Amino acid sequence: MAHITLTLKNPAGDILATYTLDSSGAPLQIEAVNNVYYEFAEAGGRGPAAVSGTRSGDDLVVSIDNDNRLIIKDYFTNGQGALVGMQADGTPYIYPVVD
């Protein structure tokens, strides 16, 4: 399965952190960061087709292609930044989050 890059960016587009997500082992766990958005990209720079977030207590469990790959700890108490991917035409797409 393809590796996915997760980049945390502030509203100005500055990169604050970068992570690599894969389907091996347990999901990556990161702390939520206030005032950022979470950008997901495959090798070609486009966002994955199937990304969704589901609430688990105060955390957000992010599934990519129906595989839990990421847990954002305290997402619902610290920021709730958008989950974003770039479409083929270069426009951003906001992935759904279920509360």
**Using one digit for the tens of pLDDT, what is the confidence trace for 24-60?**
888 999 999 999 999 999 988 999 999 999 999 999 9
Structural domain total, the chain: 1
Domain interval for residue 34: 4-98
**C-beta separation of 32 from 97 below 8 A:** no
Signed CA dihedral, 44, 87, 61, 19: sign only: positive
Q: What does the pLDDT read at residue 38?
A: 97
**Which residue did the predictor score with more confidence, 78 or 19?**
19
pTM, two decimals, is 0.91
Ordered alpha helix ranges (H), the chain: none
**Which residue did the predictor score with more confidence, 58 or 22?**
58
